[in-house]
Amino acid sequence: MKIINYNLIIFFTLILFGEIALGYWFTNDNFGIHMRDQRNINWKTVSNFNNKEYNFYYKRNFYGFRGEEFDPGQVKIIFQGGSTTNQRFTPEEFTIVGRLNEKFTKDQINIKIFNAGRDGKSLRGIIYDFNYWFTKINNLKPKYAIFYLGINETTLARDLDEKIFDIHYQEKKFDKFKDYLKNNSFIYSKYKAVSNKYFPKETKGYFINSEKLYENFKYIDYNEAKKIDRKISINDKEILIQLEQRLVVLKKILDERKIKPVIITQVEFDGLNNQRLFLVNEKLKEFSNKNNIPIIKLDEIIKMEINDFYDSVHTTPEGSSKIADKIYLHLRKILANQ
């Protein structure tokens, strides 16, 4: 019995020293309790857009970005936003970011954009990322940050969902402890590597009936939206105040870190029929103009069509390609000196 006990003590001591030596407990890549379920992902996914099936692996790398592993020192441009940036159920090459990178490669321009999108994230979550995600990545010093904003900025901070998606850690102490272990354990990281490679999780996208979505379809473009006689509610005003306050905070962070921002506005499946989205886009333009921030006014230059969206806010591969086509030349000009 004593021999068994001694062997167990030796075994667990070796594990402890191994974890200390090989884990991430005392490194710059220590994510602590943050990014708990957004790293080391490789999910086999089946999606269907416009009667075409896509089979692919949805990947988020060690650092939590969508896609393959990379050297953080090589990251010069990040693309920030919510699910409309992440595009969870779309193969990476057919996302907006994927299409943009394809265009840069085709034109032999040495530019690559890295996708930092995460489902549900609003501007509040983007600020959180700069304070609690990117600071955890050693040698990550982007020159540009592209912000795809609008849709997720139409809700107020008091809404529960915003906190859930933006503040990315668990509330309970035990759950925080588990996340801390998962994020920093060498053994767990190797377990994830093996399970991702040999036993990937299988997932399927949920898609509403697009025919129903487009019943009585009418696209409200920018010129039409400008002519609408609007009644601005108290909630509308609160949302715009909240948005400006967050933009001020974000600008201060970017100025301190010498990161150049680029803003891109958004549309929904029916354009600018959503009053709050129209108002948010206008506030983004006003703030950009006041602070000399480059902005691509997507809502003014694009007209989406039937089957470009699979729900009210998320684009199909066809819709993503149209958006990439519209913003590419503008973005290329802005990033020319990167």
Q: Per residue in 118-172, pLDDT tens?
A: 998 999 999 999 998 999 899 999 999 999 999 999 988 765 555 556 666 666 7
Which amino acid is located at 306 in the chain? Answer: I
**Cβ–Cβ under 8 Å, residues 96 and 85:** yes
pLDDT tops 80 at residue 186 = no
pLDDT tens, position by position, 317-330? 999 999 999 999 99
At 14, list the tokens.
């070796």
Q: Which of 128, 113, 122, 174 is nearest to 153 (CA)?
A: 122
Report d(CA 66, CA 75) in Å as an integer. 13
**Within 10 A of 68 (CB to CB), how many other CB atoms are there?**
8
pLDDT tops 70 at residue 95 = yes
pLDDT tops 90 at residue 176 = no
E-state strands within the chain: 41-49, 52-60, 77-80, 114-115, 144-148, 201-204, 260-264, 295-296
Maximal C-alpha separation, the chain: 85
The pLDDT, as a whole number, for residue 26 is 63
Report d(CA 116, CA 46) in Å as an integer. 22
Strand order in 295-296's β-sheet? 114-115, 77-80, 144-148, 260-264, 295-296
pLDDT tops 60 at residue 17 = no
- H helical segments located in 46-95: 83-86
Of 36-45, 50-59, 246-255, which one has max mean pLDDT?
A: 246-255
